[in-house]
């Protein structure tokens, strides 16, 4: 069943509602999971700042989504497939009895909200260690309204041009979530520039157990992300659930295979990154491909993304935590391969190249990827440049060297700079910036 078909049923089903309630909670859990994943990958002096960038995204995006984001995404199209209207601004006209498909509309809106939240948080990984927290507080609401919301309407909203006119497929968010976050992350890291010591200093993850825990929570939450996108407790949800598990596994194995062949050592960071790469790639395709297709999609992502993360050193852009190499590249792989592996038994109609569909669906997928990637990059670059000109987006050199945890938040994750990465902390009051100084630096 397609998203459009599910939304057209118009009656509440208690089983579907119960499943979507659980799936919504699972997807919300992904953002704290991402915070741990990212927090373990940075140096000790900026751990808390990294956690805060994810957690504050929950609050900021929620306010924006309830005020206007939901309506602009899922309201009636008013601009030729580009954006919805404001008839539901402030959630107007939506109450406990409102129905979207077979679930309450308020639940559907909350489920979609969790997608917007995790997408904004994903972008933060590209600029870890060097972004002003105050600038991030301004960036997230603007980005959610001007980048995420329009793309989500194109793909999922009523009358959206990618959904209704182009006919490209995206089951759970390869375009609005993965490609949008990856392209936006690339734009943001180009505006801010590389970290001090990029390509010179060791910038290894400080806590790999934290990274593995975060990856595990992401994987757990991803079942709600993908299987929940069926919007019901049904066979399609079960197929998407199994495809998600399979692709995560082959992504992990593919990445480790490359590490063993290239470096001689399979690493825990590689295992976590490979699983995430496979999960990223299966996100758009989990409701379109067979189990065999899911295995191939995950494997392709694990292998290709393991090489893509090194592009930043060759092309000289500092994507701190590999948002581009994993989410942009993985999202492109998963979205494009729909045009190769899509089966009628999953899509209800469209077929990929290997199943007799010819090049038509593959072409549609490529157009969608190019359009979304270009739009997200261009608009994000403009937003970031504007913020940088008005208030400055890059943290000061002294802040970056000392660490954003102490200089911005007046806290440290570890006393005495565990592993030698953080500034020493003493009991003296002089070691903590005054409230005025913290406010100015933020």
Q: What are the φ/ψ torsions at residue 104 (nearest 5 degrees)?
A: -60, 140
pLDDT at 429: 36
Residue 434 reports pLDDT greater than 50 = no
Residue 320 confidence (pLDDT)? 95
* pLDDT at position 435 over 90: no
**Which residue carries 């002096």 as its tokens?**
45
Return the biggest CA–CA distance within the chain: 72
- The pLDDT of residue 432 is 39
Closest by alpha carbon to 163, among 356, 350, 340, 345?
350
Three-state secondary structure along 385-418? HHHHHHCCCECCHHHHHHCHHHHHHCCCCCCCCH
Residue 104, H or E segment = strand 103-104
Span 181-204, average pLDDT: 95
Higher local confidence (pLDDT), 122 or 438 = 122
CB-based contacts of 117, cutoff 8 Å, min separation 6? 28, 31, 57, 58, 61, 62
Mean pLDDT of 407-425: 68
% of the chain with per-residue pLDDT over 70: 92
Q: Residues 6 or more apart from 47 whose CB is under 8 A from it?
A: 39, 206, 207, 405, 413, 414
Spatial contact of 106 and 20, defined as CB atoms under 8 Å apart:
no
Q: Are 153 and 147 in contact (CB under 8 A)?
A: no
The predicted structure's pLDDT at residue 3:
52
Q: Let me know if 435 is exposed, middle or buried by CB neighbors in 10 A (0-12, 13-18, 19+).
A: exposed
Per-residue pLDDT at 416: 58
Encode pLDDT of 62-120 as tens digits: 999 999 999 999 999 998 999 999 999 999 999 999 999 999 999 999 999 999 999 99
In angstroms, the Cα distances linking 257 to 21, 334, 340, 353 are 38, 20, 24, 28
Using alpha carbons, list the distances in angstroms from residue 157 to 7, 67, 78, 429. 11, 17, 11, 53
pLDDT of residue 345: 93
CA dihedral 227, 233, 239, 242 (to 10 degrees): 60
Beta strands, E only, 204-314: none
Instruction: Give residue 22's Cα distance to chain centre.
Output: 20
The whole-number pLDDT of residue 220 equals: 98
Instruction: Output the pLDDT for position 415.
Output: 80
Q: What is the 3-state secondary structure (H, E, C) of 269-292?
A: HHHHHHHHHHHHHHHHHCCCECHH
Residue 143 has pLDDT above 70, yes or no: yes
DSSP-assigned beta bridge partners for residue 408: none
- Mean of pLDDT values over 316-336: 97
So what's the pLDDT on residue 433? 40
Asked if residues 71 and 93 have their Cβ atoms less than 8 Å apart, the reply is: no
d(CA 35, CA 54): 6
Percentage of the chain modeled with pLDDT above 90: 90
pLDDT at 8: 54
3-390 adopts what CATH topology? Ammonium transporter fold (1.10.3430)
Could you read off the pLDDT of 233-284 as tens digits, one per residue? 999 999 999 999 999 999 999 999 999 999 999 999 999 999 999 999 999 9
**pTM of model > 0.75:** yes
Domain boundaries, the chain: 3-390, 403-441
* Average pLDDT of the residues in 180-186: 98
Q: What is the mean pLDDT of the chain?
A: 92
The 10s digit of each residue's pLDDT in 197-225 is: 999 988 999 999 999 999 999 999 999 99
Q: Does 425 have pLDDT greater than 60?
A: no
pLDDT given at position 4: 52
- Which pLDDT band holds residue 380 (cuts at 50, 70, 90)? very high
Stretch 7-26: mean pLDDT, rounded?
88
């Amino acid at each position: 069943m397609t998203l459009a078909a599910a939304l057209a049923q118009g009656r509440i089903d208690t089983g579907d509602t119960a499943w979507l309630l659980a799936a919504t909670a699972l997807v919300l859990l992904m953002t704290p999971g991402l915070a741990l994943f990212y927090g373990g990958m940075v140096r000790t002096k900026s751990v808390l700042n990294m956690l805060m960038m994810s957690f504050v995204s929950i609050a900021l995006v929620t306010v924006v989504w309830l005020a206007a984001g939901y309506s602009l995404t899922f309201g009636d199209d008013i601009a030729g497939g580009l954006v919805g209207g404001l008839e539901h601004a402030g959630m107007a006209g939506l109450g406990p009895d409102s129905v979207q498909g077979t679930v309450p509309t308020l639940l559907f809106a909350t489920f979609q909200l969790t997608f917007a939240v995790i997408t904004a948080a994903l972008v933060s990984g590209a600029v870890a260690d060097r972004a002003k927290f105050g600038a991030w507080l301004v960036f997230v609401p603007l980005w959610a309204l001007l980048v995420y919301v329009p793309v989500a309407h194109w793909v999922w909203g009523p009358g959206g041009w990618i959904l209704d006119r182009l006919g490209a497929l995206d089951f759970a968010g390869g375009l609005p979530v993965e490609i949008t976050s990856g392209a936006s992350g690339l734009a943001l890291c180009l505006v801010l520039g590389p970290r001090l010591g990029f390509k010179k200093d060791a910038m290894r993850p400080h806590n790999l157990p934290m990274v593995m825990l975060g990856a595990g929570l992401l994987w757990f939450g991803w079942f709600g992300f993908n299987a929940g996108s069926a919007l019901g407790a049904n066979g399609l949800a079960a197929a998407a659930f199994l495809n998600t598990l399979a692709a995560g596994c082959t992504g992990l194995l593919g990445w480790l295979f490359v590490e063993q062949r290239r470096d001689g050592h399979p690493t825990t960071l590689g295992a976590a990154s490979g699983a995430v790469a496979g999960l990223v790639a299966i996100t758009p395709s989990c409701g379109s491909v067979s189990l065999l297709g899911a295995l191939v999609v995950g494997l392709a992502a694990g292998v290709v993304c393991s090489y893509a993360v090194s592009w930043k050193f060759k092309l000289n852009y500092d994507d701190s935590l590999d948002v581009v190499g994993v989410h942009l590249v993985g999202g492109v792989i998963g979205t494009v391969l729909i045009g190769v592996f899509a089966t009628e038994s999953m899509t209800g109609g469209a077929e990929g190249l290997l199943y007799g569909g010819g090049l038509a669906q593959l072409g549609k997928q490529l157009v969608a990827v190019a359009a979304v990637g270009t739009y997200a990059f261009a608009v994000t670059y403009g937003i970031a440049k504007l913020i940088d000109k008005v208030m400055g987006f890059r943290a000061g050199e002294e802040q970056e060297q000392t660490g954003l945890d102490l200089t911005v938040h007046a806290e440290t994750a570890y006393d005495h700079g565990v592993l030698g990465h953080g500034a020493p902390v003493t009991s003296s009051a002089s070691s903590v910036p005054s409230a005025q100084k913290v406010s100015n630096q933020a």
